[in-house]
Structure 1
Amino acid sequence: MVINPNSSDCVTEAIDREVEPFRRYGDFTIDVCGTPGAPPGVSYQTDADVIGPMVQATMAREKASAYIIACFSDPGLLGAREKFDDAIVIGCGENAIFQAMTDGDQFGIISLSIFSTRRQRRKVRMMGVAGRYVGSRGIDSNAVEATSPELLDRMVRAGRELVDLGADIVVTGCASMSHFREPLEDRLSIPVIDPVGSAVSAAIGRCILKRRHGRASAS
C-alpha cells in the first residue's frame, strides 16, 4: 500500500502512474491511496504533524504486507513502525537518503521550498548522515505544481547547484517529482533517485525476503 499523505487527487494519480511499471514484476498487488481531509500538501511542519495520525489511521484501515509513506517528510513513520510492527513500513524520504549513500558519495536534495529545505536538513541531522549531505536547493513550488513537467528547468537549475556543491547523486525531495527522474539524469549526467520508486523497490525486496524467511522457518 502506497499512501499519499496529502489530499490532492492529482498527486495521488501521479504517484499511481509512477508505480505502474513495478506492477509488472512478481505477484505483488500495489495499491495507491490518498488521504481525504488532509492538507493538500506538506508545506509546513505543522502539516506533517497533522497528517501523521491520519496516515496511521489509513494503515489501520487498509491491511497490507508493506506500507510506503509517499512523502519525503515521512509523516507518522516512527509511530507507525511501533504500531504496525508486524508489517514493513518504509518512509520514502528516509529510504531515498539511505539509497543515495549506497549509490554515491555525497548527495543533495531538490526541495520544493525553503520550508521543505529546513525539514530536510533536520531529517539529515536526525539520521546522523550530515557528513555526506551537500545541502538542499528549492524550486519555489508545491506538491501539486510539481506534477507539471513545466518545472523541469527549475529542477535542472537546482540540480546543477547541488552538483557544483559536490553532489555526485541527487534525490528528488517530493513524491510529486518522480516523473522528473529520467530527464534530470539526462541533463545532469549523474544518478537521480526518485523516492517513490526507490521505496517501492525496497518494499518488494523486503517482502520477498520475508516470504523466504517464513518458508525457511516453517520447514
Structure 2
Amino acid sequence: MSRRARILVINPNSSVAVTEAIDTALTPLRLSAGPEIVVARLEQGPIGIASQRDADSVILPLADWVKRDDADAFVLACFSDPGLHTVREAAGGRPVMGIAEWGLLRALTMGERFGIIALSPASIRRQQRYVRQMGIDGRYAGSTAVDAMAADTASPAMRDRLIAAGACLVRERGADVVVLGCAGMASHRRAVEEAIRRPVVEPTQQAVAVAISALLLKDS
C-alpha cells in the first residue's frame, strides 16, 4: 500500500497560540482521501516576525528543516514568506507554498482591488515591497495596521480591531477584497467577512489548498 502524502505547514515563529490557530483553520481541508496536513512551529524562531531581520533570521533554519524532512509538500505559514526561494531550493522540487504569495493571488480572482490587514507599520513596508515585486501593485488598495504582535492575533479580543481595519480598507481605500496579513488571524476570517460584507482571504487556507491540488494532480 502506498504511503499517504503529507503536507507540512510550518509556522516560522515560536508562538503556540498562532500555531494552534493555524491548525484549527485547516480543519476543513483535512479530507479523508486527501494528504495528511501537519502543522508545526519553528521552536527556535522569534515569537513573531515583526521585522525584516526577524524574517531573515529564520531562512536557514527553515531551509535545513525542509531539506531533512520527508514531507511531500510544504507551506510557509507566515505572511512575510520568509526565505521562500531558498526553501524551494532546499525542497529539491517538492512544492513549497508561501501564504502571502497564494493569498494575494487568490485575492486577484475575487475582486479588482485588494487590501491587507497588517500587524504593524513595519509589516506594511514589507507588504508594499512584496506586492511590487509580484507586479500586482496596480491592484493593491493598501494596508492598514492593527498594531499587534503575531501572538496577539488569535485572541478573541483582537476581532474588533481586525473588523475596524477591514472596514477602513473598504471605506477609505476602495478595497473590494481583504487579505488577512498574519497566519494568526485565521480564526477571525468569517467574522470579519460578515462584518465588512466583502470577501476575506485567509492565506494559509489558500496556500494549503494549492498544495493539496499539487499533490493530487502530481501523477494524474
* Long gaps (5+) in structure 2: 1-7
CA deviations over 1:66-110 (Å, ceiling 9, x no partner): 100000000110111223242001000011001101121100000
Hey, what's the Cα distance between the residues in 1 that align with 2:154 and 2:27? 16
Hey, what's the Cα distance between the residues in 1 that align with 2:142 and 2:187? 22
Percent identical: 43
Count of aligned pairs between the two proteins: 212
Give yes or no for contact 2:66–2:90 (8 Å, CA) kept in 1: no
2:44 is aligned to 37
Give yes or no for contact 2:141–2:169 (8 Å, CA) kept in 1: yes
2:193 is aligned to 185
Per the TM alignment, residue 24 of structure 1 is displaced from its structure 2 partner at its CA by: 2.8
Alignment of 1:63-212 (within 5 A): 63-164=70-171, 165-212=173-220
2:4 is aligned to none
Pick the structure with more helix per residue: 1
Give yes or no for contact 2:72–2:95 (8 Å, CA) kept in 1: yes
CA deviations over 1:139-179 (Å, ceiling 9, x no partner): 01011000101111111111111112111100000000011
Higher normalized contact order (CA 8 Å, seq sep 6+, divided by chain length): 2
1:216 is aligned to none
Give yes or no for contact 2:34–2:212 (8 Å, CA) kept in 1: no
Q: Which runs of 4+ in 1 moved over 2 A?
A: 24-27
TM-score (norm 1): 0.94
Structure 2 residue identity aligned to 1:182: R
Hey, what's the Cα distance between the residues in 2 that align with 1:61 and 1:184? 38
